[in-house]
Structure 1
Amino acid sequence: MKRLREWKKALKQAADLSGYHFDLAGTEYESNFIQGIVKEVSRRIDRVPLHVTEFPVGLESQVLKVKSLMDVGCHDGAQMIGIHGIGGIGKTTLAKEIYNRIYDQFDKVCFLHDVREICSTKYGLVHLQEQLLFQTVGLNDKLGHVSEGIQFIKERLQQKKVLLILDDVDQPDQLKALAGDLNWFCGGSKVIVTTRDKHLLASYGVEKTYEVNGLNEKDALDLLRWKVCKSNKIGSSYEGILEHASRYSSGLPLALEVVGSDLSGKSKDEWSSTLARYERTVPKNIQQILKVSFDALQEEDKSLFLDIACFFKGCRLEEFQDILDAHYTYCIKNHIGVLVEKSLIKIIGGCVTLHDLIEEMGKEIVRQESPKEPGKRSRLWSHEDIVPVLHANSGTRKIEILYLNFSLSKEEEVEWKGDELKKMENLRTIIIRNCPFSKGCQHLPNGLRVLDWPKYPSENLPSDFFPRKLSICRLRESSLTTFEFPSSSKKFLCMRELNLDHNQSLTQILDISGLLNLEILSFRDCSNLITIHNSIGFLNKLKILNVTGCSKLSSFPPIKLTSLLKLELSHCNNLKSFPEILGDMKHITYIELVGTSIEQFPFSFQNLSMVHTLQIFGSGKPHNLSWINARENDIPSSTVYSNVQFLHLIECNPSNDFLRRFVNVEVLDLSGSNLTVLSKCLKECHFLQRLCLNDCKYLQEITGIPPSLKRLSALQCNSLTSSCRSMLLSQVLYFVLYLFDFIFNIS
Structure 2
Amino acid sequence: MNIQGVSVSSSSSSIPRWNYDVFLSFRGEDTRRNFTSHLYRGLYQKGIKTFIDEEDLSRGEEISPALLEAIEQSRISIIIFSKNYATSTWCLDELVKILECRKSMGQMVRPVFYNVDPSEVRKQKKSFGEALAIHEVKFRNNMQRVKRWRKALKEAANLSGWHLNDGHESDFIQRIVKEILSKLNRTLLHVAKNPVGLDSHVHAMTTLLKVESNDVSMVGVHGIGGIGKTTIAKAVYNLIANQFEGCSFLANVRDISKQYGLVQLQEALLSQIFGDTNFKLVNEDRGINVIRDRLSHKKVLLVLDDVDQLGQLEKLAGCKHWFGPGSRIIITTRDQHVLDAHMVEKIYKVAELTHDDALQLLSWNAFRKSSPPRNYEELANCVVKYAKGLPLVLVVLGSFLCGRSESEWKCTICKLQRSLNKEVYEMLKVSFDGLEDHEKAIFLDIACFFSGQDKDFVTRILEGCDLYPVIGIQVLIEKSLLNIENNQLQMHDLLQLMGRDIVYLESTNEPGKRSRLWCNEDVLHVLMENTGSNTVEGIKLDFLEDEDVLLSSKAFTKMKRLRLLMFRNAHFSKGPKYLSSELRLLNWPLYPSSSMPSNFHPKKLVALNMPQSKIKQLEGLKDFGNLKYMNLSYCEYLTCIPDLSTTVHLESLILKDCKSLVEVHQSIGSLDKMVTLDLAFCSNLRSLPSNLKMTSLQRLVLKGCIRLETFPNVVGEMSRLREIHLQETAIKELPLSVEYLAGLEDIRLESCKNLKDLPRSISKLPRLRNLVLFGCSNLGKFPKLCSQSDELSSCSNVLTSSNLSKTQDFNHSTNSCIPIGFPVLHSLVLENCNLFEVDFLASLNCCSTLKSLNLSGNNFDSLPTCISKFTNLKFLRLRNCERLRQIPEFPLEFPCYVNATGCTALIENKGNNVANLLSSEVASLSLFLSLSLSLSLSKPRTNDHHLCITEVSWTI
Report the TM-score when normalising by structure 1: 0.61
Aligned-pair CA distance for 1:538: 2.6
**Relative to structure 1, is the Cα distance of residues 626 and 348 closer, same or farther in structure 2, using a 3 angstrom cutoff?**
closer
Whether the 8 Å CA contact 2:604–2:624 is kept in 1: the answer is yes
Would you say the 8 A contact 1:623–1:651 is kept in 2?
no
Counterpart AA for 1:238 = F
Q: Secondary structure at the match of 2:661?
A: coil
Structure 1 residue 641: Cα displacement: 4.3
Q: Quick check: 360-369 or 561-570, which moved more? A: 561-570
Answer yes or no: is 1:369 the counterpart of 2:506: yes
> How many Å apart are 1:722 and its aligned residue?
5.3
* Structure 1 residues 480-629: aligned runs within 5 Å: 480-487=615-622, 491-563=623-695, 564-619=697-752, 622-628=753-759
Aligned residue number for residue 466 of structure 1? 601
Structure 1 contact 575–598 (Cα < 8 Å) conserved? yes
Question: Structure 1, residues 574-609: CA drift from partner, whole Å, max 9, x if none?
Answer: 111112345554443432211101013344445445
Contact 1:261 1:341 (C-alpha < 8 Å) held by counterparts? no
Structure 2 equivalent of residue 651 of structure 1: 775
2:464 matched to 1:292? no
Residue-by-residue CA offset, 1:353-407 (whole Å, 9 max, x unaligned): 3332222111101101111111111111111111101112111111111111112
2:611 to 459, 476, 483: 476
Name the CA shift for 1:308/1:348 in 2 (closer, same or farther; >3 Å).
same
Distance 2:247 2:775 in 1: 78
Q: Residue 348 of structure 1 aligns with which residue?
A: 485
- Deviation (angstroms), 1:290: 0.9
Question: What SS class does the counterpart of residue 594 from structure 1 fall into?
Answer: coil
Q: Which runs of 5+ in 1 are unaligned?
A: 1-52, 65-211, 246-258, 629-634
Deviation at 1:298, TM superposition (A): 2.4
Which residues of structure 2 form unaligned runs of 5+?
Answer: 15-191, 206-218, 223-228, 257-303, 317-330, 335-391, 393-420, 787-819, 903-923, 927-945, 949-956
Specify the code of the residue in structure 2 equivalent to 1:644: L
Name 1:312's counterpart in structure 2.
450
Task: Determine if the alignment matches structure 1 residue 237 to structure 2 residue 248.
Answer: yes
What amino acid does structure 2 have at the position aligned with 1:600?
E
Matched, 1:54 2:26: no
Give the drift of 1:460. 0.7
Please state how far the C-alpha of 1:572 moved relative to its aligned partner. 0.4
2:69 alignment counterpart: none
Asked if the contact 2:854/2:878 (under 8 Å) is kept, the reply is yes
| Distance of 1:398 and 1:732 partners within structure 2 | 77
Q: Whole-Å Cα distance in 1 between the matches of residues 254 and 482 of structure 2?
A: 25
- Aligned equivalent of 1:670, options 813, 830, 836: 830
Deviation at residue 539 of structure 1 after TM alignment: 2.2
Contact 1:327–1:429, Cα closer than 8 Å, also in 2: no
Q: Which of 221, 229, 238 is residue 226 of structure 1 equivalent to?
A: 221
SS in 2 for 1:422: coil
CA apart distance, 1:627: 3.9
SS in 2 for 1:482: coil
Deviations 1:13-62 (A, max 9, x none): xxxxxxxxxxxxxxxxxxxxxxxxxxxxxxxxxxxxxxxx9234673328
SS of the residue corresponding to residue 301 of structure 1 reads helix
- Are the counterparts in 1 of residues 532 and 555 from structure 2 also a CA contact under 8 Å? yes
- Equivalent residue for 1:698? 859
User: In terms of mean alpha carbon deviation, does 571-580 or 596-605 score higher?
Assistant: 596-605
Q: Following TM superposition, by how much is the alpha carbon of 1:434 offset from its aligned partner in structure 2, in angstroms?
A: 0.9
Cα deviation digits, residues 98-118 of structure 1 (max 9, x gap): xxxxxxxxxxxxxxxxxxxxx
The CA deviation string for residues 458-479 of structure 1, in whole angstroms up to 9 with x for no partner, is: 1111111111111111111111
CA distance in 2 between partners of 1:387 and 1:584 (Å):
51
Q: 1:424 aligned to 2:559? A: yes
> Alignment partner of 2:547: what SS?
coil
Q: Distance in 2 between matches of 1:244 and 1:493?
A: 47
- State the shift of 1:309 in Å: 1.7
Q: 8 Å contact 2:662–2:684 — kept in the other structure?
A: yes
Rate the CA distance shift 1:314–1:218 in 2: closer, same or farther, 3 A.
closer
For residues 707 and 260 of structure 1, do their structure 2 counterparts lie closer, same or farther at Cα, with a shift above 3 Å needed?
A: farther
Q: CA deviation at 1:615?
A: 1.8
Pair 1:376–1:361, CA change in 2 (3 A) = same
* CA distance in 2: counterparts of 1:597 and 1:404, whole angstroms: 42
1:744 CA drift (Å): 4.4
* Structure 1 residues 134-533: aligned runs within 5 Å: 215=195, 226-227=221-222, 232=236, 236-241=247-252, 263=308, 267=312, 285-328=423-466, 330=468, 332-407=469-544, 411-487=546-622, 491-533=623-665
Q: Distance in 2 between matches of 1:354 and 1:741?
A: 54
Q: 1:290 to 1:580 in 2, by over 3 A?
A: same
Name the amino acid aligned to 2:434: A
AA matched with 2:221: W
The one-letter code sitting in structure 1 at the alignment partner of 2:851 is: R
Return the letter of the residue paired with 1:451: L
Q: How does 1:692-731 map to 2 (within 5 A)?
A: 692-693=853-854, 695-703=856-864, 704-705=866-867, 706-714=869-877, 716-719=879-882, 721=884, 723-724=886-887, 727=889, 730-731=890-891
Inter-partner Cα distance in structure 1 for 2:744 and 2:568: 37
Describe the shift of the 1:260–1:565 C-alpha distance in structure 2 as closer, same or farther (beyond 3 A): farther
* Cα offset, 1:532, TM superposition: 2.1
CA spacing shift, 1:656–1:384, aligned 2, 3 Å: closer
The answer on whether the counterparts of 1:403 and 1:432 sit within 8 Å (CA) in structure 2 is yes
User: How has the CA–CA distance of structure 1 residues 452 and 214 changed in structure 2, closer, same or farther, with 3 Å as cutoff?
Assistant: farther
Q: Equivalents in 1 of 2:665, 2:199: separation in Å?
A: 68
Between the aligned residues of both structures, percent identity stands at 28
Would the aligned equivalents of 1:644 and 1:662 in 2 still touch at CA under 8 Å?
no
Question: Residues 526 and 220 (structure 1 numbering): CA distance in 2 closer, same or farther, change over 3 Å?
Answer: same
Question: How far apart are the structure 1 equivalents of 2:195 and 2:254?
Answer: 13
**What is the CA deviation profile of residues 411-442 of structure 1, one whole-angstrom value per residue up to 9, with x for unaligned ones?**
43221233311211111111111111121222
Change (3 A) 1:644 1:347: closer
Give the Cα–Cα distance (whole angstroms) in 2 for the partners of residues 582 and 300 of structure 1: 43
3-state DSSP class of the match of 1:433?
strand
Q: How many residues align?
A: 511
Separation (CA, whole Å) in 1 of partners of 2:589 and 2:718: 33
Change (3 A) 1:298 1:735: farther
Equivalent position SS for 1:238: strand
CA distance in 1, matches of 2:487, 2:305: 25
- Cα pair distance change 1:561/1:225, threshold 3 Å: closer
Report if the CA contact (8 A) 2:669-2:694 is conserved: no
Paired with 1:683 and 1:335, the residues of 2 have a C-alpha distance of 52
Output one character per residue of 1:671-725: Cα deviation in whole Å (capped at 9) or x when no partner.
232223321425543353222316324343221223443322305244374540x
1:528: Cα distance to partner?
A: 1.6
Contact 2:678–2:700 at 8 Å: present in 1 too? yes
Tell me the secondary structure at the aligned position of residue 608 of structure 2: strand
Q: Give the 3-state SS of the residue equivalent to 1:365 in structure 2.
A: helix
Structure 1 match to 2:849 = 688
**Consecutive aligned runs of 4 or more in structure 1 exceeding 6 Å deviation:** 217-221, 228-231, 242-245, 268-274
Query: Cα distance, 1:342 vs. partner?
Result: 2.1
The alpha carbon displacement at 1:325 in A equals: 3.4
